[in-house]
Chain A
């Protein structure tokens, strides 16, 4: 009797909580899909879509490699107790099936998993990283689509407006620091003492820097994931502008004291700084977190 009444109350609450939600049609990279109800048991398999769902306050049932997420993405943090469904490139479909999700969100290379995952639950796939579009723009579009599905469009617009305001404030800080004469800036990730990833066109990093009003110091062609891999010495020709290295960097002790590194014009002229670890392959909000970290680093450099 008691159980019955509790259920009745829950149902009533649910009905009250979603008074306007009738049917929602979502456009993802593969076409349109109609949902009759707001999904409750959501599994996200790529870190870029995990970020978007967390930023919509959608509780996640499971994600792929949550430990790796905590190590590399860091922000926004996952709720504790999110289940692990294995590697991102080969998530464990049987485990996913056991968890009985009612929505699975994937992105990019995971497209080929869609036919299998669709046996378990409806699948939404977004192409976030592609040469055919502006990656930063694509993440906003997908974020708003997800917001519509979860009936949180107001929240989403509020968050995006907050993000833009935050970026504006950071930009103001940078402008004040450099006194209106803004430097050119490029972000890199040093891999080891000899190799470096330069974040170029279409990268989350470049989008963050552009949002701060900073043009690239070492422009690179747009690529799918927004980086090219080079030898460290190829940074030498960067005659003007600032270079920011996104940490962690394990070989700092070998590279930084070396004569070659010390001879780089941007090192000689103190136009170089390290950036605290931040995820460089994320969505709109990663751009915000990166911009924050970049600003911190830029403020350490004398104008």
Chain B
């Protein structure tokens, strides 16, 4: 044990020395003197004592807290993928703070950490409710966390758009930055973290016993629920305090405990302590990269962005090393009707058509509500938006049906698997590198991005027969990578940064007639292809052996489905920006209505997706008239909330 801890400490000292070297030009001896005895006088000395040192201390504290928080979560859930980021807890803390800043600014300034804790706890509770007992140790809890991440970021975007100028600067803060101007932040944070430490250490023994399994643990007198509850509370407290003071910094809490484990730290206490040291070392190291990078740009680089740039590839590498090809996940659908009668499908079609028609005819105008068929001009302005929303709904629903069948997991969807992120990443990157507006970036670039993700998914998937775990992890990493790059852009401020935020919320506002037509034709084509492929879509969920015995080449079918859904995602993203949740909940609702056979599910999901996005677009145009909210954000909030309700009320198996 001692040698391993020593190794972690050496890493920590090395990172600290590098950080000290990068962050200030003063010679090391002078730094030592300033840190210990000499009173600072020159600006560079004052800066070292009141900015560089507190920043280093903050990096150490935040890294240690995130490392410990992640380690506790992983021990409690016995899931190596658990962390404040992957469970959506950091995002929850951030939204808690955002909401407080908007609605009760006075309280938010004084009691930020409690709002962060409330947001984090609510998110944690939801994630646990969604994943259920069986899901805690596996992928379901991570997928639930990812879904909540998406929902919460939609809420954050709405808060920002509704309060345009006021909250905008929060976005930079949201990027997670360790900049300090005095010792106040550090002296605020350390006692709050220290309180948690004895609890964490005391918990290490009961947490060890949890590994024996529920029965084993309760046989030895471990009160399982109390231990779990206390452990998670400690982890949440650590995360919420860090988020309250430096914003969201991902990956540290995920990577540190995993490295600790790979360094074969055997006892729980050992792992907790190593995670503290490694978390601090990682945070200090990535912050040194951010500081070093800032030397080469006129603008500042937020620490959270470099943490994600380093962490995302690390997660993929980790996943590829650690994950087995085993597929723990069963394809389960919520209980509902067993079959969908034809008239019901007809009714659904009628409903979708009625919604589209009323979306044309009912509108707020300068003179109040109007119900009339629009004039030629208004029609020309309105139809591309409605058509694009409806078609994008159809297309994303089809992509969702295909992916959920392919991955055999009801939580799979283009947004959670990273396909949307891949397309967005390519568009955002091209807009930054080539310059110019993100709205002008071409569909080809989005296809490239989606294809790159696809390549990645295939690369990892081939070795493991496209095991769901790898797919989802790659998706999560990509989403985080995208987030990092977007954060970096936002830290530069300026109009183009906010144009990108606007685009990321998935709006029909800028859809042109030709793009809308492209999307409508595309959606029709995708539906036709999906219907033609209904046999492989049916067989692929029956299990590999059965599908193989029926003459289906499973790897080939899976590859085809991946290509198909990536194409759909790229087409939609290039026109409308990323659209979340439609691809996730439409297939669900369809099967809830009894549409379980492949063809039925495709049809019903397409109609539901169409209705959902049409209504979202209409609400977006009406709610804040004459200002508008993006359809994608509203769809994410409606879809996300429904999804959370659905899963929380799902019968336990």
Chain A residues in the interface with B (C-beta under 8 A): 65, 68, 71-72, 83-87, 89-90, 92-95, 97-99, 108-109, 111-113, 115-116, 119-120, 191-195, 197, 220-221, 223-225, 227-234, 236-237, 254-255, 258-261, 263-265
Which chain A residues lie closer than 8 Å to B294 at the CB level?
231
B491 at the interface (CB under 8 A from A): yes
Q: Mark B157-187, 1 if CB is under 8 A from A, else 0.
A: 0000100110001001100010111101000
Which chain A residues lie closer than 8 Å to B378 at the CB level?
94, 97
A82→B626 CA distance, assembly (Å): 14
| Contact partner, A92, options B177, B507, B625, Cβ 8 Å | B625
Q: Which positions 285-314 of chain B face chain A at CB distance < 8 Å? A: 294, 298-300
B493 at the interface (CB under 8 A from A): yes
Write the nearest CB–CB distance from B244 to chain A, whole angstroms: 15
A6→B311 CA distance, assembly (Å): 75
B21 at the interface (CB under 8 A from A): no
Q: Which positions 143-167 of chain B face chain A at CB distance < 8 Å? A: 161, 164-165
A83→B367 CA distance, assembly (Å): 12
Q: If the complex has contacts A89-B499, A197-B493, are A191 and B172 also in contact, measured as CB distance less than 8 A?
A: yes
A294→B196 CA distance, assembly (Å): 50
Which chain A residues lie closer than 8 Å to B300 at the CB level?
195, 229-231, 234
Whether A263 and B50, one on each chain, are in contact in the complex, defined by CB atoms closer than 8 angstroms, is yes
Whether B181 and A68, one on each chain, are in contact in the complex, defined by CB atoms closer than 8 angstroms, is no
Chain B residues in the interface with A (C-beta under 8 A): 40, 43-44, 46-47, 49-51, 161, 164-165, 169, 172-173, 177, 179-182, 184, 294, 298-300, 363, 365-366, 377-378, 380-382, 437, 439-440, 491-496, 498-499, 502, 507, 509-510, 512, 621, 625-628
14 contacts between A and B (CB under 8 A): A71-B165, A84-B626, A87-B627, A89-B502, A92-B626, A94-B363, A95-B365, A99-B366, A109-B496, A112-B439, A119-B381, A197-B493, A221-B298, A225-B495
| Contact partner, A224, options B161, B165, B494, Cβ 8 Å | B494
Whether A191 and B169, one on each chain, are in contact in the complex, defined by CB atoms closer than 8 angstroms, is yes
Whether A109 and B366, one on each chain, are in contact in the complex, defined by CB atoms closer than 8 angstroms, is no
Which chain B residues lie closer than 8 Å to A86 at the CB level?
625-628
A111→B496 CA distance, assembly (Å): 13
Q: If the complex has contacts A68-B164, A92-B628, A112-B510, are A261 and B181 also in contact, measured as CB distance less than 8 A?
A: yes
Write the nearest CB–CB distance from A107 to chain B, whole angstroms: 11
A83→B627 CA distance, assembly (Å): 12
Whether B493 and A263, one on each chain, are in contact in the complex, defined by CB atoms closer than 8 angstroms, is no
Whether A263 and B179, one on each chain, are in contact in the complex, defined by CB atoms closer than 8 angstroms, is no
Whether B299 and A258, one on each chain, are in contact in the complex, defined by CB atoms closer than 8 angstroms, is no
A230→B291 CA distance, assembly (Å): 12
A98→B507 CA distance, assembly (Å): 22
Write the nearest CB–CB distance from B387 to chain A, whole angstroms: 15
Whether A98 and B366, one on each chain, are in contact in the complex, defined by CB atoms closer than 8 angstroms, is yes
Whether B181 and A193, one on each chain, are in contact in the complex, defined by CB atoms closer than 8 angstroms, is yes
Among all A-B residue pairs, the 6 with the closest Cβ atoms = A263-B46, A194-B179, A86-B626, A92-B626, A228-B298, A260-B50
A204→B627 CA distance, assembly (Å): 28
Whether B43 and A265, one on each chain, are in contact in the complex, defined by CB atoms closer than 8 angstroms, is yes
Which chain A residues lie closer than 8 Å to B380 at the CB level?
119
| Contact partner, A94, options B40, B164, B298, B381, Cβ 8 Å | B381
A112→B49 CA distance, assembly (Å): 49
Whether A109 and B437, one on each chain, are in contact in the complex, defined by CB atoms closer than 8 angstroms, is yes
Q: If the complex has contacts A68-B165, A228-B298, A259-B182, are A89 and B626 also in contact, measured as CB distance less than 8 A?
A: no
Q: If the complex has contacts A94-B382, A194-B181, A264-B43, are A89 and B173 also in contact, measured as CB distance less than 8 A?
A: no
A265→B507 CA distance, assembly (Å): 48
Which chain B residues lie closer than 8 Å to A120 at the CB level?
377, 381
Which chain A residues lie closer than 8 Å to B164 at the CB level?
65, 68, 87
A99→B47 CA distance, assembly (Å): 57
Whether B172 and A116, one on each chain, are in contact in the complex, defined by CB atoms closer than 8 angstroms, is no
A30→B517 CA distance, assembly (Å): 27
Which of A68, A72, A113, A263 has its CB near the most chain B CB atoms (within 10 A)?
A: A263
Which chain A residues lie closer than 8 Å to B299 at the CB level?
228-230
A115→B381 CA distance, assembly (Å): 11
Given contacts A93-B381, A109-B437, A112-B510, 16 further A-B contacts (CB under 8 A): A72-B165, A90-B628, A92-B628, A94-B365, A94-B381, A95-B366, A95-B625, A192-B173, A229-B299, A233-B51, A233-B181, A234-B300, A254-B181, A259-B46, A259-B50, A263-B47
Whether B182 and A260, one on each chain, are in contact in the complex, defined by CB atoms closer than 8 angstroms, is yes
Q: If the complex has contacts A191-B169, A224-B494, A263-B47, are A258 and B181 also in contact, measured as CB distance less than 8 A?
A: yes
| Contact partner, B47, options A87, A224, A236, Cβ 8 Å | A236
A220→B492 CA distance, assembly (Å): 14
A259→B52 CA distance, assembly (Å): 13
Chain B residue nearest in CB terms to A235: B43
A95→B628 CA distance, assembly (Å): 11
Whether A116 and B381, one on each chain, are in contact in the complex, defined by CB atoms closer than 8 angstroms, is yes
A164→B51 CA distance, assembly (Å): 44
Whether B492 and A229, one on each chain, are in contact in the complex, defined by CB atoms closer than 8 angstroms, is yes
| Contact partner, A119, options B184, B377, B439, Cβ 8 Å | B377
Which chain B residues lie closer than 8 Å to A258 at the CB level?
50, 181-182
Which chain A residues lie closer than 8 Å to B493 at the CB level?
191, 197, 227, 229
A168→B173 CA distance, assembly (Å): 41
A229→B491 CA distance, assembly (Å): 7
A115→B511 CA distance, assembly (Å): 11
A259→B495 CA distance, assembly (Å): 33
Write the nearest CB–CB distance from A191 to chain B, whole angstroms: 5
Whether A98 and B180, one on each chain, are in contact in the complex, defined by CB atoms closer than 8 angstroms, is no
Write the nearest CB–CB distance from A219 to chain B, whole angstroms: 11
Chain B residue nearest in CB terms to A197: B493
A252→B299 CA distance, assembly (Å): 22
Which chain A residues lie closer than 8 Å to B173 at the CB level?
192
Chain B residue nearest in CB terms to A196: B300
Which chain A residues lie closer than 8 Å to B382 at the CB level?
94
Whether A115 and B512, one on each chain, are in contact in the complex, defined by CB atoms closer than 8 angstroms, is yes
| Contact partner, A109, options B44, B184, B499, B621, Cβ 8 Å | B499
Which chain A residues lie closer than 8 Å to B502 at the CB level?
89-90
A259→B621 CA distance, assembly (Å): 49
Which chain B residues lie closer than 8 Å to A194 at the CB level?
177, 179-181
Whether B627 and A260, one on each chain, are in contact in the complex, defined by CB atoms closer than 8 angstroms, is no
Write the nearest CB–CB distance from A45 to chain B, whole angstroms: 12
Which chain A residues lie closer than 8 Å to B625 at the CB level?
86, 92, 95
Which chain B residues lie closer than 8 Å to A85 at the CB level?
626
Which of B173, B177, B182 has its CB near the most chain A CB atoms (within 10 A)?
A: B182
| Contact partner, B179, options A220, A231, A264, Cβ 8 Å | A231
Which chain B residues lie closer than 8 Å to A84 at the CB level?
626
Which chain B residues lie closer than 8 Å to A109 at the CB level?
437, 495-496, 499
Which chain B residues lie closer than 8 Å to A93 at the CB level?
381
A288→B370 CA distance, assembly (Å): 45
A99→B378 CA distance, assembly (Å): 12
Write the nearest CB–CB distance from B362 to chain A, whole angstroms: 13
| Contact partner, A90, options B40, B47, B177, B507, Cβ 8 Å | B507
| Contact partner, B494, options A72, A115, A221, A225, Cβ 8 Å | A225
Write the nearest CB–CB distance from B432 to chain A, whole angstroms: 13
Which chain A residues lie closer than 8 Å to B44 at the CB level?
236
Write the nearest CB–CB distance from B225 to chain A, whole angstroms: 42
Q: If the complex has contacts A90-B507, A94-B381, are A112 and B437 also in contact, measured as CB distance less than 8 A?
A: yes
Q: If the complex has contacts A86-B627, A194-B181, are A260 and B47 also in contact, measured as CB distance less than 8 A?
A: yes
Whether B377 and A97, one on each chain, are in contact in the complex, defined by CB atoms closer than 8 angstroms, is yes
A260→B183 CA distance, assembly (Å): 10
A112→B50 CA distance, assembly (Å): 47
Whether B499 and A95, one on each chain, are in contact in the complex, defined by CB atoms closer than 8 angstroms, is no
A113→B512 CA distance, assembly (Å): 10
A5→B502 CA distance, assembly (Å): 52
Which chain B residues lie closer than 8 Å to A116 at the CB level?
381, 512
A229→B294 CA distance, assembly (Å): 11
Write the nearest CB–CB distance from A108 to chain B, whole angstroms: 7
Whether A87 and B628, one on each chain, are in contact in the complex, defined by CB atoms closer than 8 angstroms, is yes
A90→B617 CA distance, assembly (Å): 14
Which chain A residues lie closer than 8 Å to B381 at the CB level?
93-94, 97, 116, 119-120
Write the nearest CB–CB distance from A273 to chain B, whole angstroms: 19
